[in-house]
Amino acid sequence: MGRLPFEYYLTLSTMRKAIIIGAGPAGLTAALELLRRTDIIPIVIEKSEYMGGISRTVAYRGNRIDIGGHRFFSKSDRVMQWWLDILPMEHRANGSERIAYQGKSRSVETPVKGPDPAQTDSVMLLRRRKSRIFFNRMFFEYPIRLSADTLSKLGLWKAARIGFSYLRAAAFPIRNETNLEQFFINRFGRELYLTFFKSYTEKVWGISCEQISAEWGAQRIKGLSILKTVVHFVRQSLRNNSEIAQKDVETSLIEQFMYPKFGPGQMWEEVARRVKEQGGEIHCGFEASRILTGGDCVRGLEAVNAKTGERRTFEGDFFFSTMPIQELTRALDQPVPEHVREISDGLMYRDFITVGLLVEELKIRDASGAGLIEDNWIYIQEPDVLVGRLQVFNNWSPYMVADPAKVWIGLEYFCFDKDDLWKLDDSRMIELAKGELAKIGIIETSKVMDGCVLRMPKTYPCYFGTYDRFSELQSWIMRFENLFLIGRNGMHKYNNQDHSMLTAMTAVDNLVQGRTDQSNIWAVNTEQEYHETSDEREHDGNRIGSSAIGSRGANAPVAR
């Protein structure tokens, strides 16, 4: 079939179809937006049996796992309202609450007559966020700060070394910094970098900080300066007023975020239900394996069911893709220029394993020494174990756990799918996880009652490999006028749920407005990267480094 002008698709009035690859946040948002705002019928092709993609909730024997821990918070009112239209906010006495996240704050309505989570399932909870760093078998504040607490835990000698290397970095910065290691050292000093940044960042990304570009750090870690840090430290040191100090601590601890009663997947299962109810289709178990094109238009796709071997062809007028751009490029039925294929094949992804463990109790306790710790998650900075983060699902939502007397935790491992770790069978993976947590003193292995393993490929699109040439691939693919790349892996962009949703919403806006230029879709989350004024940023809870020194309340980026 020859090329059809884009206007052709815009003027068709009956039974126009949009084929959407993937039932994650981006794909499902696109589907619901199309149903709400156009006469285009969305047909979603999903290779798994689940709704929500990376943002799904996995149920295991009555307990629920959130892969990565998904906070619901957005700077975008449109996204916040969209979420609350699907799952209304739980009731609170005040009628509204101030919530904060990543150094930003906003208010959210908590209607007095809103649903009560004890009675209703369709409800969004408001949760407090707490996370700390576990290093040297001790807890440190997160983001790490040069506070008296930090210094006393590190000891006088280490603290002095950190101070000196800090001053040295300020006086003699590395000229022409090109890699992330140099970036960190220039901002924090070598000693602090080696203590808190290096091993965790490398655990998350699987390559040395020397192989990650400094530019990436510059994009993600804003506004940090040695001067600022030192001023903050001096202020802190001079501050004997414990009331003020306490106020600081409290402020950093009352970050809050929204969270569906049964985890993020509950949001996407409900959206999927509405898509079907309003006339859309969702075909699970079908993997898009071949993209059928005609000139500069996509006309259909072939999908195969891995279980039954059944092949189906889906034809449509518009195509939205959230599948990894690398796989999309490989699936195209027309020749791809050599340089474009090279860039696509060279893109890299980090994969993710969660080991869920049900335990009678943890060895570590809350401040009173009696109860469960309050952390939602803990960064495990210990270099002698592979585990990167520990989730405590009880603290995300008590409804994630079948028996509230038990503790339901998730150990997170970052790896490549070629690594031996990825290939370990479930029982050995569970043994590894139990052994590691026992080794660092968080549990006793005898208290573990059950366990399960989840492997999630391509969780992190990497900003290394051939990423520096990504724009060439992007502009070549954008020649397909009726194809919208949206979401996280769809655009190979470090998008959170809200960004992924905004890319889908913007694509539908363009259809509604007849706009053919897609640059506004690619601009989502880019402005934020470049214009954000917060001192630090964090993504998906993974840090690139504990950059919070010298500021408070906000989270650090680095690698997640």
Ligand X SMILES: Cc1cc2nc3c(=O)[nH]c(=O)nc-3n(C[C@H](O)[C@H](O)[C@H](O)COP(=O)(O)OP(=O)(O)OC[C@H]3O[C@@H](n4cnc5c(N)ncnc54)[C@H](O)[C@@H]3O)c2cc1C
Q: How far is the CB of 342 from ligand X (least distance, A)?
A: 21
CA 172-183-220 angle, to 5 degrees, is 145
Given the complex with ligand X, which of 32 and 45 has the nearer CB atom? 45
Q: At what angle do helices 77-86 and 497-513 cross, to 10 degrees?
A: 100
Residue 66: strand, helix, or coil: strand
CB of 48 to ligand X, least distance (A): 4
Give the shortest CB-233-to-ligand X separation in angstroms.
Answer: 30
Of 525 and 551, CB closest to ligand X: 525
C-beta closer to ligand X: residue 162 or 298? 298
Point out which residues pair with 290 in neighbouring strands: 302
Closest Cα partner for 438 from 379, 374, 357? 357
- 260, two tokens: 């569906």
Phi and psi for 98 in degrees, rounded to 5? Answer: -90, 125
Q: Shortest Cβ distance from residue 103 to ligand X (Å)?
A: 15
Residue 272 C-beta: closest distance to ligand X, Å: 11
Label residues 438-450 b or e (16+ Cβ within 10 Å = b): bebebbeeebbee
Length of the chain: 560
Name which of 268, 255, 257 is nearest 87 in CA terms: 268
Nearest approach, Cβ of residue 526 and ligand X (Å): 15
Tally Cβ neighbours within 10 Å of residue 401. Answer: 20
CB of 245 to ligand X, least distance (A): 29
Please state the closest distance from residue 386 (CB atom) to ligand X, in A: 16
Q: Which residue from 414, 400, 401, 425 is spatially nearest to 540, judged by alpha carbons?
A: 414
CB nearer to ligand X: give 184 or 484. Answer: 484
Whether the bond between 143 and the residue before it is cis, its omega within 30 degrees of 0, is yes
Q: Which is nearer to ligand X, 101 or 135 (CB)?
A: 101
Tell me the CB-side half-sphere exposure of residue 119, using CA atoms within 13 A. 6
Q: Indicate the angle between helix axes 198-205 and 180-188, nearest 10 degrees.
A: 150
Identify the three-state secondary structure at position 449: strand
Cα separation, 328 vs 319, in Å, equals 12
| 204 Rama class: left (phi>0) / alpha (psi -120 to 50) / beta | alpha
* Residue closer to ligand X, measured from CB, 222 or 488: 488
CA distance 549 to 560: 18
Pick 150 or 506: Cβ nearer ligand X: 506
Minimum gap (Å) between residue 465 Cβ and ligand X: 18
> Do the Cβ atoms of 442 and 390 come closer than 8 Å?
yes
Distance CA 64, CA 75 (A): 28
Q: Which is nearer to ligand X, 285 or 346 (CB)?
A: 285
C-beta separation of 48 from 305 below 8 A: no
User: What is the maximum span of the chain, computed from C-alpha positions, in angstroms?
Assistant: 76
User: Based on CB atoms, which residue is closest to ligand X, 285 or 294?
Assistant: 285
Q: What is the three-class DSSP state of 265? A: helix
Least distance to ligand X from the beta carbon of 268, Å?
9
Q: Of the two residues 219 and 555, which places its CB atom closer to ligand X in the complex? A: 555
Copy the structure tokens of residue 389. 């983060």
CA 503/CA 520 separation, integer angstroms: 8
* Residues engaged in binding ligand X (CB under 6 A): 21-27, 45-48, 53-55, 68-71, 287-288, 322-323, 327, 352, 459, 487-490, 495-498, 500, 540-541
How far is Cα 316 from Cα 203, in angstroms, rounded to an integer? 43
**Closer residue to ligand X, CB minimum distance, 272 or 473:** 272
* CA gap 166, 418 in Å, rounded: 38
Q: How far is the CB of 530 from ligand X (least distance, A)?
A: 19
Q: Which is nearer to ligand X, 71 or 299 (CB)?
A: 71
Please, what is the minimum distance in Å from the beta carbon of residue 500 to ligand X? 4
